Structure 1
Amino acid sequence: MNDQPALKELPPAPTLRVEAPPGVKIPSSPEAHSRRRPIVIGALAFGIAAVCLYLFLPGFWRVSTDDAFVNAHVVLIVPKVSAYVSKLHVDDNSKVTRGDLVVELDPRDFEVAVDMANADVKSAQANAENVKAQLQEQQALVAESQSAVDGDQAIVDFAQQQFERFKSLASNGSGTVERFQQAESDVAERRATLQHDLAALDAARAHQGVLKTQEQQAKATIERQQAALAQAQLNLSYTKIRAFETGSVTNKTVEVGNYVQPGQVLFSIVPDTLYITANYKETQLTGVRPGQRVTIRVDAFPELRLQGRVDSIQRGTGSQFALLPPENATGNFVKVVQRVPVKITFDDPGQALHWISPGMSVEARIYTADPPAWLSFLD
């Protein structure tokens, strides 16, 4: 039996390490991919959760809209009389204060009208004085006629007494018939004179009533002419147009020398008091109440953040006051979420009041509740 030498155990073969050239990446093994997959999925899920948290969680305490704009109660400057513009004290974008003289119209026609009205008043007053003097004179004539009637009545009474006396004498033969007849004639004559003077008294009193009526007419004429004078003076005052509000001049369409008509818009004054009109969907107004806090971002100034309050909510949707409001009873009904204007006032805009203007677009956020302190970073 041949002895064979034992085989020696060979050492393990060395592992070859192949290094990639610079700039070349060697693909990782499937085992490395399987280890990274949970990390990627977890990171993606965290990101989605963070985005959902940021987008949807604030809806529990606030409602937002970008259908909002700066608004103001713009004052239109219009003339009340027709005239040429003689002076213009403002220019485009000028600042004015309430009561400032902004436009002057040619006053000459209106000054002449005032003078004529003043003359008419004086004429009416003179006529009233004339009627008053005639009335006083007529009162004296009435008194004179009354005195004449009183004298005639006394003479008639005496004549009647004489007639009775001579009648008695004639009946017993102590007096003559001729004297009796003379006394009878005297009574008739005196009574006729009395009747004449009574008629004159009635005529004087009637004319006195006419003069009293004329006096009332003269007073009414004075009042009418005084009213015409007041209207003429008022029209003259309209030639000086003053600012009704403090603010800035916009939309100026008038120049010196223009002939303007009543109701013609010369320019507008944008007041310094501004507010926000935000059109919220009707489904967003469930928790909105006046007095709630609002944050306002103006598109023209992205870094500017203003604070405000809900002032009021309009009683009616925007479509309700449109030129052609919807008529759902026609049968062509399509349910559309309506928008309701909400008025928002500024708390303290400060210098921003001079930067923002009516018509600028804004984004308004109404806080219907206070957010939790630990979620304040989402605000």
Structure 2
Amino acid sequence: MPRANCDQKPNEARMQDAPPKMLQGQKNSKMQQGQKSLPKANPTSTVHPPAPQSRGLLRSWPALAGLLATLAIIAAGYAYWHYSVLHPSTDNAYVQANIVPIAPLTSGLVTEVNAKEFATVKAGDVLVRLDPAPFEAALKAAEAKLTLAQQQATGPAAQSPAAKANIYQAQAGADQARLELDHATIKAPVDGIIGKVRVRPGSIAKAGMSLFPLIDTSKWWVDANFKETDLARIEAGQKATITIDLFPSHEFSGEVEAVSPASGAAFSLLPAENSTGNWVKTTQRFPVRVALTLKPGDPEMRIGASASVTVDTTSKGSGSGAQ
């Protein structure tokens, strides 16, 4: 041990006596050896953590999407409500037309029926004929009376008031007999479609009693029953859109013609009695007549067909129908 200590002391002394450049070189060589011993880091394996800002956007995206969806639903609901206010509609509507009852103006025996059920006819077409024999006989008798009255009114008595009255009376009788003979032939008064025919040859037709209906096809309209809360914006002259259940893929155009001055319940045979104790308030409906504007190529209308009507209250109306 004393020898080792003695050997270390000269080494330490030599180290102290060494020049500074040699010491610095030894230190640098040791540092390079330490750096070589460390493992090299792979630059491709380095994982950089996401920025805090991108993490916040990812977390808030579902909330932002929900907010946008809510705003879209609110906007769509408001648009629908606004459109329904300006365009009131109802499906309580039915197609209507004038129905002409075909009835004889004189009584007689039916000998011929040309009317066919649901057939289309033109104005002037012969529908029913009555036995003309009684009317022809009555016409001959009336003409004979007229001839006799004219023969009696000869000479000085021709200018007398009595003779003139007899002639006028006989002439009126002949005209009436001729008119009844014409009425024995029943013709179609308008263009239209024949309804249910119940008369047959051999039946007795009575004056004023309807034989069958004839639907006048010259004009069609829709009776739409709107709620009373919609009438403030509906007036005559406004444009309307009509869809009929018979033709769901076809859209018809029309125009408001008139608004009823009373509700449908007011015109019923048994009006509601609202003075009772169990009264319940219900929204009343008022008939609104919408004239159909038919175009060439439109389907043939059917009276009584269900329809849906939408009125464009933004269009200009005459203002007379909402009174």
Tell me, in whole angstroms, the C-alpha distance in 2 between the residues paired with 1:85 and 1:265. Answer: 13
CA–CA distance in structure 2, aligned partners of residues 126 and 243 of structure 1: 41
User: Match for residue 244 of structure 2?
Assistant: 298
* 2:232 aligned residue (274, 286, 306): 286
Which segment drifts farther, 320-329 or 101-110? 320-329
- Deviation at residue 224 of structure 1 after TM alignment: 1.4
CA distance in 2, matches of 1:85, 1:353: 36
Summarize deviations over 1:18-60 as a string: whole Å, max 9, x none.
xxxxxxxxxxxxxxxx989647844763574366246423123
Query: Paired residue for 2:81?
Result: 56
- Bigger proportion of residues as helix: 1
Write the mapping of 1:1-379 to structure 2, written as runs, cut at 5 A. Answer: 38=63, 41-42=66-67, 45=70, 48-49=73-74, 52-53=77-78, 55-129=80-154, 132-133=155-156, 135=157, 215-272=160-217, 273-326=219-272, 334-354=280-300, 356-369=301-314
In structure 2, the residue corresponding to 1:285 is in which secondary structure?
helix
* Identity %, equivalent residues: 31
CA deviation profile, 1:349-373 (whole Å, cap 9, x unmatched): 433341x311000000001016xxx
Q: Which runs of 5+ in 2 are unaligned?
A: 1-58, 316-323
Q: Is the 8 A contact 1:307 1:349 kept in 2?
A: no
Question: Is the contact made by 1:290 and 1:309 (CA closer than 8 Å) also made in structure 2?
Answer: yes
Distance change >3 Å, CA 293–CA 353, structure 1 → 2: same
Distance in 2 between the 1:244 and 1:308 partners?
26
Determine helix, strand or coil for the equivalent of 1:110.
helix
| Contact 1:69 1:361 (C-alpha < 8 Å) held by counterparts | yes
Q: Which amino acid aligns with 2:187?
A: R
Shift of 1:326: 4.0
What amino acid maps onto 1:123 in structure 2? L
Using a 3 Å threshold, how does the CA distance of structure 1 residues 222 and 331 change in structure 2: closer, same or farther? farther
Structure 1 vs Structure 2 CA RMSD? 2.6
CA distance in 2: counterparts of 1:110 and 1:98, whole angstroms: 24
**Whose relative contact order is higher, 1 or 2, with alpha carbons under 8 Å and at least 6 apart?**
1
Alignment gaps of 5+ in structure 1 = 1-33, 137-211, 371-379
- Determine helix, strand or coil for the equivalent of 2:90: strand
| TM-score, with structure 2 as normaliser | 0.71
The structure with the largest strand share of the pair is: 2
Q: State the alpha-carbon separation in 1 of the partners of residues 65 and 212 from structure 2.
A: 64
Q: In 2, Cα distance between the equivalents of 1:292 and 1:37?
A: 47
SS in structure 1 at match of 2:297: helix
Q: Secondary structure at the residue paired with 2:146?
A: helix
**Equivalent-residue separation in structure 2 for 1:304 and 1:96 (angstroms):** 26
Task: Find the aligned partners of 1:293 and 1:119 in 2 and give their Cα distance.
Answer: 63
Distance 1:332 1:351 in 2: 53
- The CA deviation string for residues 323-375 of structure 1, in whole angstroms up to 9 with x for no partner, is 13345567876543222111111223433341x311000000001016xxxxx
Paired with 1:249 and 1:263, the residues of 2 have a C-alpha distance of: 18
Structure 1 distance, partners of 2:61, 2:275, is 63
Counterpart of 2:21 in structure 1 is none
How far apart, CA to CA, are the structure 2 residues paired with 1:254 and 1:54? 57
Letter of the 2:140 counterpart: D
